[in-house]
Amino acid sequence: MGMGQRMTGGMGRLRERQRRKSEDRFAERFATQFANQWTQLRADRRHEEQPTIQAGPSNFSRAQVPWAVDLAAAWSWRFLVIVAATYVIGVVLARFSLITVSLVIALLFAALAVPLVDVLQRGGLPRPAASVLTVVSGLLTVGLLLTFVGQQVAQGFSDLSDQVVDGLGEIRAWLREGPLQASDSQIADFIAEAQAAVASSNEQIVSRLTEVGTALTHIFAGFFIVLFATYFFLADGGRIWAWFVRLFPRAARTRTDSSGRAAWFSLTKFVRATVLVALVDAIGIMLVAYVLNVPLVLAIGVLVFISSFIPMVGAVLSGAVAVLVALVAQGPVVALLMLLGVVVVQQVESNVLQPFLMGRFVSIHPLGVLVAIGCGVLLAGITGALIAVPLVAAVNAVAQHLASYGEEPEVAVADPGEPSG
């Protein structure tokens, strides 16, 4: 009896546990199915809420631009980029104009003096020593020329001082008896107005003393920059150029080197043509002064030769000095003839001789020389006139060289130890 009850109770507990397990599995399956159905229902609702986009064939077609317009647009935007880059470079160079102008002047001097350095080097003199000797001899030559002019002026000053009073008297007589028919009162009024103008300008002169001092400081600094830069261009030009060429990609170094050498050759010819023009200008004005019996002929010629290397201002100053000497020594009539002779010589030199020689030596058409000088004057004044023609000559030489690059043998990049030539 007791055993049967225990067996019956055990079976009941076993069935109870099985029932509970079955209910747990059912509840678990129900929860899983409910969760899946709920998730699917939410996904279906989200899908129904999203807008439906109907795709179709594209209606976009590339605009058909005429070939000429497409080509012009491509050239135009590239040209604008080049102009903008050139403008930025010009602004930067203008900001450091003292350095850039000094280096350009030193480069021109080096182009003029490098043949002498090459001759001295072939004679057995080391290139640094030959460069020092060339620079020092150039300074001594310019100093001797200026000393000669000073001595000539000092020697003739006593004679000219005696003629100043007579010259002023002749000017007064010419104003009174000449075509102007000016009275003594009018002459006196003119002299008084001139004196008043000079007196009134004293304040402006005093106010500009600081600017003059700054300009003299810049000239003094530029002189030493030109001096030392000329020496280094002559002594280490090959190394400097090789270093510059190595800044370019390897594939472009050969062409860059050959283009630079073509530009340098054109620059040397430009400097030689400039020296020839200055010599002809000096000889022409000396002949005019000699024919008119103006004193200090040699001094005037040397002054004209040196000042001819200064664009615009040099010709005006040298011509003014020649006319002033003629006025003091020979009177107003000879001074007018001297002025006429100076104008004729300078016009022939600037409009005929210089364009012809530049076109022949530098392979630039005379009209191109005139346009280059005019553009340089408008953009940068005297500095622009100084740089315009050699810059155009170098650019023209590089353009011609690159245009015929495939027809010429390649030029190897200069070794750092190779002397400049």
Mean pLDDT of 255-261: 89
| Token pair recorded at residue 149 | 């002019």
Query: Which is nearest to 387 in space by CA: 154, 90, 131?
Result: 90
Q: What are phi and psi of 179, to 5 degrees?
A: -65, -20
315 or 281, higher pLDDT: 281
pLDDT at 146: 77
| Per-residue pLDDT band at 155 (split at 50, 70, 90) | low
Query: Which is nearest to 261 in space by CA: 238, 231, 235?
Result: 238
Residue 123: pLDDT above 80? yes
Mean pLDDT of 237-249: 90
Angle at 75 between CA 74 and CA 76, to 5 degrees: 90
103 or 367, higher pLDDT: 103
Highest mean pLDDT, choosing among 55-59, 213-217, 343-347: 343-347
> CA quadruple 125, 145, 147, 381: dihedral positive or negative?
negative
Domain ranges in the chain are 251-411
Q: What is the SS3 assignment for the chain?
A: CHHHHHHHHHHHHHHHHHHHHHHHHHHHHHHHHHHHHHHHHHHHHHHHHCCCCCCCCCCCCCCCCCHHHHHHHHHHHHHHHHHHHHHHHHHHHHHCHHHHHHHHHHHHHHHHHHHHHHHHHHCCCCHHHHHHHHHHHHHHHHHHHHHHHHHHHHHHHHHHHHHHHHHHHHHHHHHHHCCCCCCHHHHHHHHHHHHHHHHHCHHHHHHCHHHHHHHHHHHHHHHHHHHHHHHHHHHHHHHHHHHHHCCCCHHHHHHHHHHHHHHHHHHHHHHHHHHHHHHHHHHHHHHHHHHCCCCCHHHHHHHHHHHCCCCCHHHHHHHHHHHHHHHHHHCHHHHHHHHHHHHHHHHHHHHHHHHHHHHHHCCCCHHHHHHHHHHHHHHHHHHHHHHHHHHHHHHHHHHHHHHCHHHCCCCCCCCCCCCCC
Contact 286, 294 (CB under 8 A): no
Residue 278: pLDDT above 70? yes
| Token pair recorded at residue 333 | 């009539």
pLDDT at 80: 95
Q: What percent of the chain has pLDDT over 70?
A: 67
Mean pLDDT is lowest, of 34-43, 62-71, 370-379, for 34-43
Residue 311: pLDDT above 90? no
Mean residue pLDDT of the chain comes to 75
Mean pLDDT of 49-63: 61
Contact 245, 256 (CB under 8 A): yes
Contact 329, 298 (CB under 8 A): no
Contact 153, 299 (CB under 8 A): yes
Highest mean pLDDT, choosing among 8-22, 79-93, 275-289, 320-334: 79-93
Contact 88, 117 (CB under 8 A): no
* Maximum CA extent, the chain: 176
Q: How far apart are CA 272 and CA 395, in angstroms?
A: 18
| Token pair recorded at residue 24 | 């747990």
Helix 366-403 crosses helix 250-291 at what angle (to 10 degrees)? 160
pLDDT at 211: 58
Mean pLDDT is lowest, of 110-114, 134-138, 201-205, 414-418, for 414-418
Mean pLDDT is lowest, of 313-322, 343-352, 403-412, for 403-412
158-210 pLDDT, tens digit each: 555 555 555 555 565 655 655 555 555 655 656 555 555 545 544 554 455 55
Mean pLDDT is lowest, of 56-65, 248-257, 370-379, for 56-65
pTM, entire model = 0.63
Mean pLDDT is lowest, of 77-91, 120-134, 273-287, 407-421, for 407-421
71-107 pLDDT, tens digit each: 898 899 999 999 999 889 888 888 888 888 888 889 8
| Token pair recorded at residue 388 | 């315009």
27 or 301, higher pLDDT: 301
pLDDT at 416: 40
Mean pLDDT of 303-314: 73
